[in-house]
């Protein structure tokens, strides 16, 4: 192998090493971002469940108040 070919080979190898290093760094970044997103998703699922529970409680209380108001209207409204 000539000296020029060896130099070109070394340059290509160095460029490939840089690209591999960049890919490894990108994979690590994406893995980290993915973990953050998974954690956020888990938190949001818990928050969603809590909001659904609060909504159901509010709906139940509202229905109970409406029922009591209708009962009061029947008891006192036509008297």
3-state secondary structure the chain: CCHHHHHHHHHHHHHHHHHHHHHHHHHHHHHHHHHHHHHHHHHHHHHHHHHHHHHHHHHHHHHHHHHHHHHHHHHHCCC
Tokens of 79: 């008297």
The residue behind tokens 């994406």 is 30
23-71 pLDDT, tens digit each: 999 999 999 999 999 999 999 999 999 999 999 999 999 999 999 999 9
pLDDT of residue 78: 65
State residue 75's pLDDT score.
Answer: 86
Show the tokens assigned to 43.
Answer: 């938190």
């Amino acid at each position: 192998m000539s000296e020029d070919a060896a130099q070109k080979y070394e340059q290509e190898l160095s460029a490939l090493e840089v690209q591999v290093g960049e890919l490894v760094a990108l994979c690590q970044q994406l893995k980290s971002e993915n973990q953050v997103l998974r954690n956020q998703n888990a938190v949001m699922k818990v928050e969603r469940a809590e909001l659904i529970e609060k909504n159901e409680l509010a709906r139940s209380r509202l229905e109970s108040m409406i029922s009591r108001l209708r009962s009061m209207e029947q008891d006192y409204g036509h008297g």
